[in-house]
């Protein structure tokens, strides 16, 4: 069964028929994800595939939204200092 691209899939192959120095080194196709709109910034992930690294396969999707508090920490992150008995790593009176 042949590989069939789905929405969000990206396939890029090493160019084997370069006719001049300005030709691309890689060329491929992508199917835009179903949830993408014109002008959306998308996240791309690539993996080396094929013999001798002649193909890159990947996915394209909406960027992952990272939840954070106003202080820059991710929500639910453990802010304690292991083994110190302190909950706040910045509450130490010694400034260094």
The DSSP code sequence of 57-83 is: EEEEEPPPPPPB-TTSPBTT---SPTT
pLDDT for 7 equals: 92
- For the whole model, what pTM was predicted? 0.53
Minimum mean pLDDT range among 7-21, 22-36, 73-87: 73-87
- The pLDDT tens digits of the residues spanning 31-85 come to 989 988 888 899 999 898 887 778 888 988 888 876 655 555 555 555 454 555 5
Q: How many residues does the chain have?
A: 96
């Amino acid at each position: 069964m042949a590989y069939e691209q789905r929405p969000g899939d990206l396939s890029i192959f090493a160019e084997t028929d370069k006719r001049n120095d300005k030709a691309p080194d890689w060329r491929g196709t992508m199917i835009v994800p179903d949830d993408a709109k014109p002008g959306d910034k998308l996240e791309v992930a690539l993996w080396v595939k094929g013999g001798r690294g002649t193909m890159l396969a990947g996915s394209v999707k909406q960027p992952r939204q990272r939840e954070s508090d106003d202080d820059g920490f991710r929500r639910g992150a453990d802010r304690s200092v292991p083994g110190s008995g302190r909950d706040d790593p910045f509450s130490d009176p010694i400034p260094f």
